[in-house]
Amino acid sequence: MKTPLGKGEGGRMSESAVRAGDEGKRLRHGFWVYALSGRVVRSRGPRWHNRAVTERSEYRGGELLDANLPAEPWPLWNEWLRAAREAGLTEPEAMHLATTDAAGRPHGRVVLLRGWDERGLWFFSHTHGPKGQELADNPYAAATFWWPALERQIRVEGAVERLPEAESDAYFAARPYESRLASAAVAQSRPVRDRSQLEEQVEALRSRYPVELPRPATWGGYLIVPDRMEFWQGRPARLHDRIDYRRAGSGWVRQRLSP
């Protein structure tokens, strides 16, 4: 197929159109044409399909200056979580949770952070689903929080423990009744016939427990005990701030990482 550029030998765009190292795009006969470091890339796809190739964002919303950084991560963690909440973001406690199965294959999903204290971060889930099995096989996890509106990201890594039964009981009892029904009625990640099967399971449990519903033994809390926490603040021209805290004995060591 001939390159639909009509510019230069071998279909290359002229230097006046695209200089080596520049990034540009031209529409030619239905193709979106991209010049990436002097190399021409063509696509028949719609323009929005190729936005990831050409669009850039400049981050100018904040900075992390060494003189203002705490010796431990928790003051900065509290400050950033509070800012995410006050910014009115949707689900500011949503985090991408990564686990690994017994074969070493990674798995990820978004879950909600439900609290934290000096021990670490906690979330709740079915314990007999894939996530629970992965944590039983390899009790370590990585959690990532990303707030585009604030141009911030936090990464947390560490061992995972089960929360005490009393804490799981207390949280489950505090949930809305309908949420408790849905959690108790389903076997997470198991195939179902159709949605009506899920609704039937919920109604059957509602008939059995019309008022109070005990926490199922297959549902409970997990605690991520951090041994690493990284705070990322977007900065102009990709010269981002990355502040990394690593557990060292009973304290933390802080260092700045290259972006």
Tokens 């973001």 correspond to: 89
Per-domain residue ranges for the chain? 9-54, 66-257
Say what the pTM is: 0.79
pLDDT attached to residue 42: 54
Q: On the CB side of 126, how many CA atoms lie within 13 Å of its CA?
A: 14
pLDDT attached to residue 52: 72
pLDDT attached to residue 163: 97
pLDDT attached to residue 35: 46
pLDDT attached to residue 247: 97
pLDDT attached to residue 197: 96
The CATH topology of domain 66-257 is Pnp Oxidase; Chain A (2.30.110)
pLDDT attached to residue 9: 42
pLDDT attached to residue 157: 98
Tell me if residue 238 is catalytic. Answer: yes
pLDDT attached to residue 5: 39
Q: Which one of 47, 82, 238, 256 is the catalytic residue?
A: 238
Local mean pLDDT, 10-residue blocks, the chain (259 residues): 41 40 44 48 58 80 96 98 97 98 97 96 96 97 98 98 97 96 92 95 96 94 98 96 97 97
Q: Are 36 and 22 in contact (CB under 8 A)?
A: no
For 46-103, give the DSSP string. -GGGGHHHH------S----GGG--SSSHHHHHHHHHHHHHTT-SSTTEEEEEEE-TT
